[in-house]
Amino acid sequence: MTRFSIHVKRYTVLLACAACQSSLLCGYEISMSLVSNFIKQDLDMKAVDKACFVDTIQLVSVLTMVPSGALSDWIGRRPLLIIVGMSAFVGYFVMTIASSVSMLIIGRMLSLLGVGLALPTTPLYIAEIATPKVRGFLNCTPEVLSIFGSLLALLNMEIYSSVPHHISWRVIIGFGMVPSGILAIRMFWLPESPQWLIHRGRIAETSMALSKTASNGSLASARLNELKLAAKIPVDSTANIVVMSEETDPLALYQFFRNPQQPRFKVIVSVLYLSIMQQICGVDVIISNFVKGVIPMKNQIWSRVLVALVKLLITLVPMLGVDKIGRKPLLLVSFVLITIASAVLGFSHLEDGGTRFFLFVLIAGYALGLGPITAVYSTEVLPFKTRAQVLGLGM
């Protein structure tokens, strides 16, 4: 292997990790809801204010995720990730200096605006810049860094729990400016998605982006020809820019639902079903609300840390094996484990030990497939025209 090929592979991994700072932010945001216990002792946060602070993550994320696909098709994946980083950075800064609950909630909404835009855009960007041999591995990175972000938030809360409350929560929230700042700054120097560029007819920029991510020049050239064929551009075209006959359609997904006879319609419905199953299997709810009763530990934070560590270790299995084992086998194993665990927990009366065991089976089933593999599978089977919009709707 040449020194050049090693450099390019390392660059691709670093590129994916830079984009995944948004996933780290997502995990940090989810666990940061617990910081309201520190805030209420400083800003006189009432029950309604606490509910607003914690539950805005659901409303704002949904409102921003749905249009995120059309937005990334319009302005590009890289500019949208820059907006994610800037929005989250400003949001964390506003929360850190907040002198009232209203100011705190405004900052929270700004940071969640970035999180909502990032959830579908990050796996989309990684899938489009990664080479097929490492695409599965790299697209499992967002799930791993999301869990790592949760761990960071929990550990920060434990570390600063003995610090005066008017300082501790500001430090914990202020830490979120680090990954958001890295994301916003780093994305300025990273290439745009080659697939997005080629569908805009920007052939020279596509070639330049591929030269940075492919392991050698011949593979970059072969990949460029594949993208030209997919975008219906003549392979022998030497122009730097080509005028494309088809522009981005913000209603492309709507058009598919209007005409269910189209060949890719079943694929889109299957991906949406997979995304829905990912959300309703209940793992996040269990971790967020019932972990205190699952693990016999006095400290709720350490209970959550233990569950997150288990989830992180299990997620490494599909991350390292997805490109060899395949996507479908891991998803099938995941569905089997989740189905068994859900059925036993829902219809059986178990002792505490049995309940804990099957709850961990449920978490393991999610971490083995449905959690990390859904985005990998979805980005690979969806047509480019509707890929971003389906991910925005499904995530």
The 3-class SS string of the chain reads CCHHHHHHHHHHHHHHHHHCHHHHHHHHHHHHHHHHHHHCCCCCCCHHHHHHHHHHHHHHHHHHHHHHHHHHHHHCHHHHHHHHHHHHHHHHHHHHCCCCHHHHHHHHHHHHHHHHHHHHHHHHHHHHHCCCCCHHHHHCHHHHHHHHHHHHHHHHHHHHHHCCHHHHHHHHHHCCHHHHHHHHHHHHHCCCCHHHHHCCCEHHHHHHHHHHHCCCHHHHHHHHHHHHHHCCCCCCCCCCECCCCCCCCCCHHHHHHHCCCCCCHHHHHHHHHHHHHHHHCCHHHHHHHHHHHHCCCCCHHHHHHHHHHHHHHHHHHHHHHHHHHCHHHHHHHHHHHHHHHHHHHHHCCCCHHHHHHHHHHHHHHHHHHHHHHHHHHHHHHCCHHHHHHHHHHHC
Distance CA 59, CA 255 (A): 26
- What pLDDT does residue 91 have? 93
Distance CA 392, CA 388 (A): 6
Distances (CA, A) of 260 to 248, 257, 263, 268: 20, 6, 8, 10
Q: Which stretches in the chain have pLDDT values below 70?
A: 1-9, 56-57, 245-252, 254, 287-300, 350-353
Do residues 84 and 72 touch, judged by C-beta distance below 8 A? no
Q: Which residue has the tokens 């700054």?
A: 185
pTM above 0.85, yes or no: yes
- What pLDDT does residue 298 have? 54
- What pLDDT does residue 57 have? 64
Do residues 4 and 216 touch, judged by C-beta distance below 8 A? yes
Query: Which amino acid does the sequence have at 348?
Result: S
- What pLDDT does residue 9 have? 59
Q: Which residue has the tokens 């593999």?
A: 373
Contacts of 266 (CB under 8 A, 6+ apart): none
Do residues 42 and 170 touch, judged by C-beta distance below 8 A? no
Query: CB 309: neighbour CB atoms within 10 A?
Result: 12
- What pLDDT does residue 79 have? 93
Domains detected in the chain? 1-193 (1.20.1250.20), 194-247 (no CATH), 249-395 (1.20.1250.20)
